[in-house]
Amino acid sequence: MQKRKLGNSNLEVSAIGLGCMGMSFGYGPPADKQEMISLIRSAVDLGVTFFDTAEVYGPFTNEELVGEALAPFRGQVAIATKFGFKPAADGEDRWSELDSRPEHIKEVAEASLKRLRVETIDLFYQHRVDPTVPIEDVAGAVKDLIQEGKVKHFGLSEAGVQTIRRAHAVQPVTALQSEYSLWTRTPEKEIIPALEELGIGFVPFSPLGKGFLTGKIDESTTFDSSDFRNVVPRFTPEARKANQVLIALIGKVAERKKATPAQIALAWLLAQKPWIVPIPGTTKLHRLQENIGALSVELTPDDLREIDDAASKITVQGARYPEKLEQMTGR
């Protein structure tokens, strides 16, 4: 398994990580727990050393799952988790309120350490920027946790450039996690140049466009009633139909490279910068193997130019989040 370092930090992880959210939350009913433990352990066997979770996934059940699955591999893998949401008491509207007060961050860290069954959190992200708490206070709270040995690295998720700079001045940011893929390229304008300048790694989530870039979803696909994609504007049947033009482009390259569309989408991301580590999620072993197979797909400069030229003529239809969640990004 190829390894990559996240920015200037000493956090070295497998070049492709595993996003674990969908095992418990977001994409329909939770998968069978024993099957997911087995899948996570298969990922370790395949060389994956970077696993992503958050307290709010479930809430709490995903951290517990990841903690149990990775208990035999302490010291061999890195687990990233997140703070910053205030899980609703009834567990229903999990994304309603933000809470990044320093005292809350420290409470979350203690609870996450227990659920993950670790003594130190490898990478602790602020899940979304909380406009009511100065980012300097957030960075300061994580700095305290690092000094206490409870956290190793500080991360941000979906933050804007100014916030990243301000946080980094207080406590060096190891990684930014934001959505980035062939159909979400907004980070290229300001975020990626800033990360390069500051020596911060980039962890793209939804690198396969929440499944769309695999080519397995069209306008007639139906999702479970609890699937988050039902409320995503980019997943209306009309948008899915309009966005097939991007799938056709990826499919053409995949055919030529004897690869799958998912592998092309991941190989494209990996080719952007050597400090980018995508974290595709899955609940299926064959998809996990397929995703890791992207590491052996080599896109030449000509391939990359062709993809960029063709993609630049395509306007992706539909926002990537409902308005309420969209407002939480890029702050």
pLDDT in tens, the chain (331 residues): 999 999 999 999 999 999 999 999 999 999 999 999 999 999 999 999 999 999 999 889 999 999 999 999 999 999 999 999 986 665 555 566 899 999 999 999 999 999 999 999 999 999 999 999 999 999 999 999 999 999 999 999 999 999 999 999 999 999 999 999 999 999 999 999 999 999 999 999 999 999 999 999 999 999 999 999 999 999 999 999 999 999 999 999 999 999 999 999 999 999 999 999 999 999 999 999 999 999 999 999 999 999 999 999 999 999 999 998 999 999 9
State the pLDDT at residue 92: 55
User: 27, 57, 125, 321: which one is catalytic?
Assistant: 57
Q: Residue 91: exposed, middle, or buried by beta-carbon count in 10 A (0-12, 13-18, 19+)? A: exposed
Distances in whole angstroms, Cα of residue 165 to Cα of each of 135, 160, 172, 189? 10, 9, 9, 16
CA dihedral 255, 257, 259, 262 (to 10 degrees): -90
State the pLDDT at residue 24: 95
Bridge partners of 281?
19
State the pLDDT at residue 306: 95
State the pLDDT at residue 49: 98
State the pLDDT at residue 94: 54
* Nearest alpha-carbon partner for 206 in 43, 74, 50, 21: 21
> CA-CA distance, 30 to 295, in Å (whole number)?
29
Q: Are 135 and 157 in contact (CB under 8 A)?
A: no
> CA-CA distance, 212 to 232, in Å (whole number)?
12
H helix intervals, 225-284: 237-242, 244-257, 261-272
- For residue 206, is it left (φ>0), alpha (ψ between -120 and 50) or beta? left
> CA-CA distance, 146 to 141, in Å (whole number)?
9
State the pLDDT at residue 86: 85
Whether 125 is catalytic is: no
State the pLDDT at residue 4: 98
DSSP SS3 for 223? coil
* Nearest alpha-carbon partner for 271 in 313, 237, 301: 301
